[in-house]
């Protein structure tokens, strides 16, 4: 059963947004009476059948609605976009499949990419959410300067980590709690965080984090962190 996104799911008739309607009508060639699975990205999942098919407005008659509770653990990864955007998109896709809750692209001193199209990245996340049959859509933030991110952390986290390859105090990812925690992990560009950025994070209450003896690419480091928290669930 194909999955579609709809921000407002309710008993009765639901109107798919234009993009989802076009995908259903023109790409998947859906027909009246065929089954559909809808998600609102916040834990609500509905099943029903297509009542009307139109490239700009498909209508689904909802037959069943289920509310899924959020995971007790919350993982937020703030990561520097790679020069080759395909690698960043690969990270977004795989981390979404692994159940990450929030992603913030960050702009660092050694960043190779200083501009991203959020709408393009959002489409990657949406497709991965639907493909993985998840009930939750990860939050994607705007590209944020590193120092601004640290200053703007108003949400309370149980754990704050900065992955770092340079000299300095670090803890291995295998040693940190992953159950029932709210965690943020910072991952830098290919040139790593600068010493100044690392120290600034430590001053803000972050703890240095090592991901093992091998030096990982940015997107691989992100997947490693997401997988470590997924396997602990």
Domain residue ranges of the chain, discontinuous segments joined by +: 3-67, 74-231
Q: How far, in Å, CA of 187 to CA of 197, rounded? A: 11
Q: What is the pLDDT of residue 169?
A: 83
E-assigned strands of the chain?
Answer: 3-5, 12-15, 35-39, 44-52, 59-67, 74-79, 102-107, 139-140, 144-145, 159-163, 171-172, 182-187, 207-210
- Name the burial class of residue 61, with classes exposed (0-12), middle (13-18) and buried (19+) by CB atoms within 10 angstroms of its CB: middle
CA-CA-CA-CA torsion sign (8, 11, 13, 19): positive
Q: What is the pLDDT of residue 194?
A: 95
Q: Which class is domain 3-67? A: mainly beta
Give the Cβ contact number of residue 54 at 10 Å.
14
Q: What is the pLDDT of residue 2?
A: 94
Query: Contact at 8 Å (CB) between 222 and 104?
Result: no
- Domains 3-67 and 74-231 equal at CATH topology level: no
Q: Any idea what the Cα angle at residue 69 is, between residues 123 and 74, rounded to 5°? A: 65
Q: What is the pLDDT of residue 184?
A: 97
Q: What is the pLDDT of residue 28?
A: 95
The CATH architecture annotation of domain 74-231 reads: 3-Layer(aba) Sandwich (3.40)
Residue 209 half-sphere exposure toward CB, CA atoms < 13 A: 26
Q: What is the pLDDT of residue 4?
A: 97
Could you read off the pLDDT tens digit of each residue along the chain, which spans 233 residues? 899 999 999 999 999 999 999 999 999 999 999 999 999 999 999 999 999 999 999 999 999 999 999 988 999 999 999 999 999 999 999 999 999 999 999 999 999 999 999 999 999 999 999 999 999 999 999 999 999 999 888 678 999 999 998 888 889 999 999 988 999 999 999 999 999 999 999 999 999 999 988 889 999 999 999 999 987 66
Task: Specify the DSSP class assigned to residue 42.
Answer: B
């Amino acid at each position: 059963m194909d999955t579609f996104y709809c921000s407002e799911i309710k008993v009765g008739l639901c109107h798919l947004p234009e993009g989802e309607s076009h995908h259903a009508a023109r790409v998947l060639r859906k027909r009246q009476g065929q089954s559909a699975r809808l998600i609102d990205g916040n834990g609500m999942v509905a099943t029903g059948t297509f009542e009307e098919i139109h490239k700009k407005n498909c209508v689904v008659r909802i037959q069943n609605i289920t509310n899924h509770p959020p995971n007790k653990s919350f993982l937020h990864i703030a990561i520097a976009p790679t020069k080759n955007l395909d690698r960043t998109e690969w990270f977004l896709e795989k981390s979404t499949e692994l159940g990450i809750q929030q992603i913030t692209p960050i702009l660092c001193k050694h960043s190779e990419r200083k501009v991203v199209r959020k709408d393009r990245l959002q489409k990657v996340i949406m497709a991965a959410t639907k493909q993985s049959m998840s009930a939750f859509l990860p939050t994607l933030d705007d590209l944020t300067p590193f120092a601004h991110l640290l200053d703007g952390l108003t949400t309370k986290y149980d754990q704050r980590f900065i992955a770092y390859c340079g000299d300095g105090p670090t803890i291995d990812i295998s040693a940190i709690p992953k159950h029932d925690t709210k965690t943020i992990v910072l991952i830098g560009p290919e040139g790593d965080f600068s010493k100044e950025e690392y120290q600034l994070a430590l001053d803000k209450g972050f703890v240095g984090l090592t991901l093992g003896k091998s030096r990982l690419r940015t997107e691989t480091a992100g997947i490693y962190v997401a997988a470590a928290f997924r396997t602990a669930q």
